[in-house]
Chains A and B, each alone.
Chain A
Amino acid sequence: MREDSKSNRWLTAALLAPTSMWFLVMLIFPLIVILVFSFGERAAVGGYAGGFTLEQYANLPSRLKAFQNTMVIAPAGTLLSLLVAYPLAYFLAVKVSRQYKLILLVLVIVPFWTSLLVRTYAWIFILGGRGIPTLLEFIGIEGVRLINTPGAVLVGIVYGYLPLMVFPIFVSLEKLDKNLLEASSDLGGSPFKTFLQVTLPLSMPGIATGCMLVFILLMGEFLIPAFLGGGKVFFIGNALVDLFLQSRNWPFGAAVSVTLVAIMLITVSLYMRLTMGGKTGRDESLM
């Protein structure tokens, strides 16, 4: 018996080794490097110089606006994506007949085959002065400015992240047992009440997964605000690009990264607690 469990343990360890190595090399090690860097100093010509100082963390308030922008626009973008994605996912999962379902699903994915960069660049022209504002002038609405505003960034976010929100919700709605809806209406529930009390709660895992996917990616977003915000709607992702690629202040960039990771951890765990009652294992979440 003892021999057995011992060799079992070895086997388990051997089987886990590749995964552990992957985690160690790709996740833990880089995080440690960033943590160490965040206590260092900027070298005279840029980059990193060793040392132990809290100076970088003390300098964080200088990026307050970037944190604020991100903390407001990322949740707003997530919510907006949800509001746009839910009806679409509902339509695809519940209303569309089988024969069209696949085609419509493919249509949702197709834009993903083109680089986000190219698609976002296209929006510069759509939202720019010779795009929608010119059309609006025809119907008498003048002086509308769309590009380089938070609104433009939100449009870009919803457009870019929609599939990430649609699919998890679609999956959870597709599994929806129609008998439950029937039972609800049989017992006198109005369609609206049925939706609120049956459909919506049952699709919560999909909503939670979609929101997490979009929100986490948005917190690190830099391309959409750079293109559609014209450098004026500045995310923390943009601040990081700046610190590493322009001003080459690696330690401060590391401190900003560590702070971002901390904020994410807190937000995500709070969110999990709220939406899943802390029992993440029970619901069939995609994550």
Chain B
Amino acid sequence: MSKSNDDNKPISAKKFMKELRRYEKGSVTRRHFLGVTGLGTAMAVMGTAVPSLWSGKANAFGDLGDRLVFSTWPNYWNQKNLDEFTELTGVQIQVNAFGSNEEMLAKLQAGGTGWDVFVPTNYTISNYVELDLIQALDLSQIPNYDAAANIPKFAGPATVNGKVYCVPKNWGTTGFIVNTKKIKSSPKSWKDFFDVTMGAASGHSIVHDYQLTTIGGALCALGYSFNSVDAKELKEAEDLLIKAKPHLFAITSDYQPGMRSTDAWISICWNGDGTQLKNDMPEMEYVIASDGGEIWSDFYAIPKDAPHRAAAYAFINFMQDPYIQARDAAVHGYAPTDARAIALQPDSLASDPILHPAMDLMNGLEFGAAQTLTDPIRAEVMARFKSA
């Protein structure tokens, strides 16, 4: 361990100045500054005489062990951030990427995941608390988290029965992406989405392999709530989906390859992916449907049986640093919930209409409801649609 201490890897002058500027601007804490620059260690060494240099624990972060298991979504982190955390703490990070909240829940319910930090979506948190699968956070161990800087609408679901169970990561919307070179009719609603799917874009449409968004979209197209668990409404949604199935290109949450190869012309889409696609192909247009859809926020949480708790806290604290948050978002595109991080973003991202849509566009959107995660009818409707 002592060999991997940051004090053995001298910081470059340029990086030191950058960190100093960040500290001066107040975008990092003193603790972060001391840790990154190695000054903290140096001070600790001076204070406790030379032997502590060899103790192996002279790290500004303390002894965190050497491993952390992090479960998140695909294309949703900046590898640079993870590498830097490893460099600072000696903790190796193992990343698992998942395709749906259901999948995460299934793993946690089965037990023995070995996860230390994972990224649940707003509507799942109360379920996790009820099932006793996540632990309440000791916010004093996450000094970088600033509740006041976070948009309450997005941070709210973290608090269940007065206790805070997680801290927010990013937020976004679920709409659809259209290749305007292929589809000229400019669909605006979920109803249009399914009409186009079964008409002009037959064979070129993608829905997610994810019950919340796919069933939700079908429900909106029929004029019902995105979150409906009403048996009759779900039956209608199932009928619509099964009717549309022969016209689909694919049922997959990994829709970027299909859209990029232009095999698919229209797909249910999360807004950050929408930005990623539009950046490379200007003909791509992200649409927030006029008849509804989803607005969501994601969080960092610690499972109840996390084996490396100290490392988990250190990691979440590190990721809450505004500079780190902004650097994270620079890669995946999704908007931070933290005003301090948004302030650090380049204008192109901070004022992007896809990532920060006008508030009135989002009036019709709903946060996912806790019920939808565990509702047996929704689960079975999705499974039947897929095997139909």
Q: Once the chains are docked, how many angstroms separate the CA of A68 from the CA of B385?
A: 15
A199 within 8 A of B: no
Q: How many A-B residue pairs have CB under 8 A?
A: 97
Q: Once the chains are docked, how many angstroms separate the CA of A131 from the CA of B383?
A: 31
A232 within 8 A of B: yes
Please, which residue of chain B has its CB at the minimum distance from the CB of A244? B106
Q: Once the chains are docked, how many angstroms separate the CA of A189 from the CA of B124?
A: 73
Contacts of B240-273 to chain A: CB distance below 8 A: 245, 248-252, 257-258, 261-263
Q: Once the chains are docked, how many angstroms separate the CA of A252 from the CA of B263?
A: 35
Min CB gap B386→A, angstroms: 6
Whether B103 pairs with A128 at a CB distance below 8 angstroms is no
- Also in contact, A45 and B106, with CB within 8 A (given A231-B386, A232-B248, A247-B383): no
B380 within 8 A of A: yes
Please, which residue of chain A has its CB at the minimum distance from the CB of B373? A45
Whether A234 pairs with B379 at a CB distance below 8 angstroms is no
Q: Which of A63, A124, A148, A249 contacts B379 (CB 8 A)?
A: A249
Instruction: State the main secondary structure of chain B at its contact with A.
Output: helix
Which residue, of A45, A62, A231, A239, has the highest number of chain B Cβ atoms within 10 A?
A231
Q: Once the chains are docked, how many angstroms separate the CA of A4 from the CA of B203?
A: 75
Count class of interface residues, chain A: 20 to 34
B63 within 8 A of A: no
B80 within 8 A of A: no
Please, which residue of chain A has its CB at the minimum distance from the CB of B245? A232
Chain B neighbourhood of A232, CB < 8 A: 245, 248, 250-251
Whether B250 pairs with A248 at a CB distance below 8 angstroms is no
A44 within 8 A of B: yes
- Also in contact, A62 and B384, with CB within 8 A (given A46-B105, A148-B250): yes
Contacts of A227-247 to chain B: CB distance below 8 A: 230-232, 234, 238-239, 242-247
What are 14 A-B pairs at a CB distance below 8 A?
A45-B374, A46-B106, A47-B109, A65-B387, A124-B257, A131-B261, A148-B263, A230-B249, A231-B209, A232-B248, A242-B382, A246-B211, A246-B379, A246-B383
Q: Which residues of A does B touch, CB under 8 Å? A: 42, 44-47, 62-63, 65-66, 124-125, 128-131, 145, 147-148, 226, 230-232, 234, 238-239, 242-249
